[in-house]
Amino acid sequence: MSGFNQLDTVLQQRQSAHLYRRRRLLESPQGPEVVVDGRTYLGFCSNDYLGLANHPELIAAFKNAADQYGVGSGASHLVNGHSRLHHQLEEALAEFTGRPRALLFSTGYMANLGAVNALVGKNDAVFEDRLNHASLLDAGLLSGARFQRYLHNDTESLRTRLQRSDADRKLVITDGVFSMDGDLAPLPSLCEEAYSADAWVMVDDAHGFGCLGKTGGGCVEHFGLSQHQVPVLMGTLGKAFGTSGAFIAGSETLIETLIQFARPYIYTTAIPPAVAAATLASLKLVREGQALREKLAALILRFRTGARQLGLDLMDSSTAIQPIMVGESRQAMAISEELEQQGVFVTAIRPPTVPADSARLRVTLSAGHTEHQVDQLLQALDKCKAWGYRETRS
């Protein structure tokens, strides 16, 4: 074996399947208008749903904290990286979620790996929605527990699997809002199934926090689910909160278990304290953000109404994630490129991020957008010629 010839072959295969990934160079803050590779676009693919990533109050909090605490946290939480600001944020997140405690992680991916692996192992079983986020699927596989996927949002399918299981510990895991589809998990009925089977429930609400619920408390606030029903509640800070990092909220016992046993918590450097400070500022805006959520809801309605009039294949989503189903990766790429030529930036999401033959344009809306900008997106979509591609083929 010499060099990386084999790898080159695999890369070429990926390219000819229209699945090759390329990174684009962002040269502006997140916002309705973004500068990408030197050109200004109207952007519809950020997860900054409330438009907080570039908010002056977050920036001010970040700067103040950097003046006081410097930049790097310098160590993991268990050595000496756990600053007062991290601690304050944990307390604020616990209060916000109505859980006794919350624990900060450096990323959502790590929070998921950490929580699942601290909770289950050999002799246990994990039950996951088949469309769960990659980090949850990876976490389940890595745990060594018996790993089962149930059909998307299908309570019956979960029930059958739970009934057949004789595992010691059972953990049911679902996205709250599905990241590539935008639909909500039927949490009340999933929790009921889990309860009858004596299983724990973990919800990853990366896309619900900030957007759903009266105070932005996400799916559990939306459905009114207690800690008893959803004992493991995960949220990320890099989406609607506009900063970076993640957290798990739950009981005293859960959080102490994670501090002792969650390796992605223990063996990594704490996020910069200034990020925690910015998140405290963001949390306040989220809680008082009813107007932002109402604006977002109005934009979602406007987009859906307009897209339906254009005959676009929308998904069953009431959230800021409004994917347009395309199917073939090549066609999705072609439409994305045409939008780009018209000054609109929407990335095509292709397998393996989504199941085979379900490539889509993942449109995301933000409270920062205007109605006019949503109309501009619709006009640009209407002008794309690549929509015709599928009809002439099938």
Which parts of this chain interact with ligand PLP (CB under 6 A)? 107-109, 112, 133, 135, 175, 179, 204, 206-207, 236, 238, 246
CA–chain centroid gap for 61, Å, is 24
Tallying the residues shown for the chain, one arrives at 394
Name the active-site residue from 86, 133, 239, 295: 239
Q: Computed from CA positions of residues 265, 269, 273, 279, in that sequence, does the dihedral angle turn out positive or negative?
A: negative
Distance CA 247, CA 45 (A): 23
- Please identify, using beta-carbon distances, which residue of 43 and 108 lies nearer to ligand PLP: 108
| H-assigned helices in the chain | 5-16, 56-69, 84-97, 108-119, 134-142, 155-164, 187-196, 218-223, 252-261, 263-266, 273-287, 290-309, 329-341, 371-383, 388-393
- Please identify, using beta-carbon distances, which residue of 190 and 384 lies nearer to ligand PLP: 190
- Please identify, using beta-carbon distances, which residue of 107 and 373 lies nearer to ligand PLP: 107
Provide, rounded to whole angstroms, the least separation between the CB of residue 163 and ligand PLP. 27
Name the active-site residue from 106, 135, 179, 358: 179
Residue with the CB atom nearest ligand PLP in the bound state: 108
Q: Are 151 and 331 in contact (CB under 8 A)?
A: no
Q: At what angle do helices 134-142 and 108-119 cross, to 10 degrees?
A: 30
Distance CA 240, CA 207 (A): 7
Q: Is 152 a catalytic residue?
A: no
Name the active-site residue from 77, 207, 222, 295: 207
Give one DSSP letter per residue of 33-75, joined into a string.
EEEETTEEEEE---S-TTS-TT-HHHHHHHHHHHHHH-S---S
The residue to which tokens 């790590």 are assigned: 110
- Please identify, using beta-carbon distances, which residue of 117 and 331 lies nearer to ligand PLP: 117
Provide, rounded to whole angstroms, the least separation between the CB of residue 168 and ligand PLP. 26
- Please identify, using beta-carbon distances, which residue of 51 and 218 lies nearer to ligand PLP: 218
- Please identify, using beta-carbon distances, which residue of 76 and 353 lies nearer to ligand PLP: 353
Q: Are 110 and 132 in contact (CB under 8 A)?
A: no
Q: Is 228 a catalytic residue?
A: no
As beta bridge partners, residue 173 has 128, 202
Provide, rounded to whole angstroms, the least separation between the CB of residue 108 and ligand PLP. 2
Q: Is 63 a catalytic residue?
A: no
Provide, rounded to whole angstroms, the least separation between the CB of residue 280 and ligand PLP. 18
Which helix H or strand E contains 231, and what residues bound it?
none
Provide, rounded to whole angstroms, the least separation between the CB of residue 179 and ligand PLP. 4
Angle (CA) 47-44-46 rounded to 5° is 20
- Catalytic positions are 179, 207, 239
